[in-house]
Structure 1
């Protein structure tokens, strides 16, 4: 698990290779990732948008931006967490992702950035 805290918001990430959705012969490697966003501050925050940088080991970089996550812009109260699962496909057996969330303090509508730490996407047999 990869974890980082920015401005009182803790991001924890777990990844799982999706063998049944991957096709090695056609260079299609599917990964799921589970992200927990924990609000360690004393005020409510809302996740407004995200930006991802997705790297394949062949040198390809993809940028993905959008509103919210999995169709939601959750409000996370102090001491609470929001968890979601999403996925990413790669053309290679090894890659990584990193990025950031744009969050907003609900009380005064002040926006701030929360870093999503870099995490690896690796087909399990590549580690043997």
Structure 2
């Protein structure tokens, strides 16, 4: 089994990575770091640069965790793609970062985190950027 972390190059993504590494150490499990881009998108600020992903993987290995970084493209829905990866790797825990968004922002743009929380068929650890657990 493994722990899966949704990683984006933001404070919330960094908090999720930190929590994922801690959980992988505690549970003695591998870590799968997921950073996904919309298929065909020319620019996507949630996509981490190769050096950022390499550093994320290195943080895990320096902590004694076997880590894999994956960047599966998604076509229609990021939450569905992320949950598919969680099932594929038989994740025992999903770790995601949360950021504050207004109700209007959630209504207009939707919330990937909310969909993952509601639709996941395994435990989800949601972490705020300040490190507080939700």
Q: TM-score, normalised by structure 1?
A: 0.28
Q: By percentage of residues, which structure has more strand? A: 1
Q: TM-score, normalised by structure 2?
A: 0.27
Q: Which has the higher contact order (CA 8 A, sep 6+)?
A: 2
Q: By percentage of residues, which structure has more helix? A: 2
